[in-house]
Amino acid sequence: MVPLNLYLSLSAMLFTIGVVGVLTRRNAIIVFMSIELMLNSVNLTLVAFSSFLGDATGQMLVFFVITIAAAEAAIGLAIIIALFRNKQTVNIDEINLLKW
Amino acid sequence: MTFEEVFFYILAAGAIVSALLVITRRNPINSVIYLVLNFFFLAALYLTLKAQFIAIIQILVYAGAIMVLFMFVIMLLNLGDEKQLRDRVTWKQIVAIGLSLAFVMQVIYIVGFGETDGMDTISARAVEIGTVEYIGKELFSHYVLPIEAISVLIVLAVVGAIVLAKRKLD
């Protein structure tokens, strides 16, 4: 059988790939996709613990995380559309109205 | 190496490679397609953990609904390839990648080589709790208040998305 450690390591790697994507890419939509990657890696951790401990709470939490991700994607993409309409760009370096 | 381990390593490698491709492609459409691929690998990993319901939800909601939304927006905005991906490496990005690598090394050291009470096998109850029946019963008994709250949140998100993306409010 595959031990729990391997699932947790895989999840950490996927999370880090997501973090690198958020920190290095300048395209707002790709930053969003990296956030989805991070959410998914946390889901993998929760499902792994749920299965190995025999407790359903982890899977309930994953269900709610997926719902929140759907809501977040809808709102976030609406914000991106509104931004693009005003500034004609999705480059987050050029969207600096709130920057001090 | 057992069959299950080989299967896990194939899926894990696929998930990591597709995730790396997501964050390195210039064209956002390619990124979306690799992200869908990544979601399929993750769904298969959920199946190896005996979580059938979550695996199906992953494909239906994530790969089906959310990614279509992403693709719609990219096509609506008509985004092309990014001009500079590699020729503008700043010191911020180098620091970010270095810190991220340090983080993942720490986590892998802790969970991979540290003192853990080797949980080597999936619990016998995992098959039972992964089913639609069990999760449905739990959702509508213990988690009935959260699920009502989250349905209100979904309605708010739908209304909010329409309000935000609308051209003119009247």
pTM across the whole model? 0.90
A15 domain-assigned:
no
User: What CATH number does residue B34 fall under?
Assistant: 1.20.120.1200
The domain in which residue A48 lies consists of 26-87
pLDDT value of position A87? 83
How many domains does chain A contain in total? 1
Q: Looking at CA atoms only, how far is residue A93 from chain B in angstroms?
A: 12
pLDDT value of position B57? 92
B24 domain-assigned:
yes
Judged by CB atoms within 8 Å, which residues 112-151 of B form the interface with A? 112, 116, 118-126, 129-130, 134-135, 138-139, 143, 146, 150
User: What CATH number does residue A47 fall under?
Assistant: 1.10.287.3510
A80 domain-assigned:
yes
On the CB side of A42, CA atoms within 13 Å amount to 14
The domain in which residue B33 lies consists of 1-86
Q: Quick check: B124 pLDDT over 70?
A: yes
ipTM of this complex: 0.91
A16 domain-assigned:
no
Lowest mean pLDDT among A48-57, A91-100, B62-71: A91-100
B58 domain-assigned:
yes
Lowest mean pLDDT among A74-83, B21-30, B44-53, B118-127: B118-127
Record the tokens describing residue A16, joined without a space. Answer: 């880090």
Mutation target among B22, B147, B151 for the A interface, most CBs of A within 10 A: B22
A13 domain-assigned:
no
How many domains does chain B contain in total? 1
Lowest mean pLDDT among A18-22, A79-83, B7-11, B107-111: B107-111
